[in-house]
Amino acid sequence: MAVLEGKVVAVTGAGRGIGREIALAVAKEGGAVLVNDFGTSADGEKASDAPAAGVVKEIEAAGGKALANFASVADPAGAISIVEDAVSHFGRIDAVVNNAGFLRDRIWHKMSAVDWQQVIDVHLNGAFHVSKAATPYFKEQRSGSFVQFTSTSGLLGNFGQANYSAAKLGIVGLSQSIALDMERYGVRSNCVAPFAWSRMIATIPTDSPEQKERVEKLKTMSADKVAPLVVFLASDLSREVTNQILSVRKNEIFLFSKPRPIRSMHRSEGWTAETIARDLVPAFKSDFYGMDRSPTLIDWDPI
C-alpha cells in the first residue's frame, strides 16, 4: 500500500519548485493534496491562480486527488481556508507542509521595514497561521504531522538575508515548541532545510567565478530530491520522529544540531567587563564560531 493512502496533506507554496514536487510525490503515494499557492513571483509580486491550478491538473491527470487553494498564508483568514478547504473536500487533514515563501534580499544597511515585514509575514507568520488552523483537528484526532520549511540561511546565516534568515530560524523555534506542546496528542513537528535549485535560489548573484561555481553545483540538486523526506515525515512511518531539523542535499540527508551549552566558566565573586575580557574570552575563544556560511561548512560536491 502507498505510504500516504487515505491521508490528506496540505502543501503551501505548491505551485512551483519544491512545493510542486512535494505535492506530486504526496499524490503518487496515495495522499489527497490541498495544493495551495498565492501564485506570486519570486519576490512576492503579481499573484496568479495558474500555478496551483496547473499542479492540480497534473495530479488529476495521473489519477490522483487534489484541490487548489489560492490564499495567502500571511492572511490569517486565508490560512484557515487552506485547512478548511482540505477538511470540507476530503473529510480530514493529516499533515501540513509549510513551504510557501519568497525572497526580498537586501544587504543589511539597505533593508527597509517593508522588506523585513513582508518576508516575516509570509514565512514565519504564515507557518504560524496554517499550523494554528490545523491544530484543533490534529488535537481531536490525536494524530498529525507538521513539516516546517527552514533554511541554512537561518541555521547558519547568509549575506543580504537578515529578514529571511530571521524568519527561517524563527520557524525552528516555532516547530520545537509545537513539538513539545503537542507530543501528548500524538502530533509531530519537524523542520526541513532543503538544498535545491529553485526560482528563489536563481536570484543568487553570479558576479565572480566562485559564485558561478556555487550556482552550477546548486543546479545539480533538483527539487524532487526533497520530496521523499517530506512524504516520510507526513506519513505514519515517522511516528517516532519529532522536534528534529533535517536537510536534503541531492542524495544526502543531514540531521542538524541545535544550540546547546558547550563551555562554562565560573567566578565565585562574579564577573566584570574587565575579567570577562581578561579571563573568559581567552578560555572560550577556541570554541567561538567564525563567519561561516553553508558553502564553507558543507564544502564537498553534492552526491
Active site residues: 164
The residues facing 11 across adjacent strands are: 35, 97
| Calpha distance 198→266 (Å, rounded) | 48
Which uninterrupted H or E stretch holds 109? none
Other Cβ atoms closer than 10 A to 303: 8
Q: Which of 191, 202, 303, 195 is nearest to 258 (CA)?
A: 191
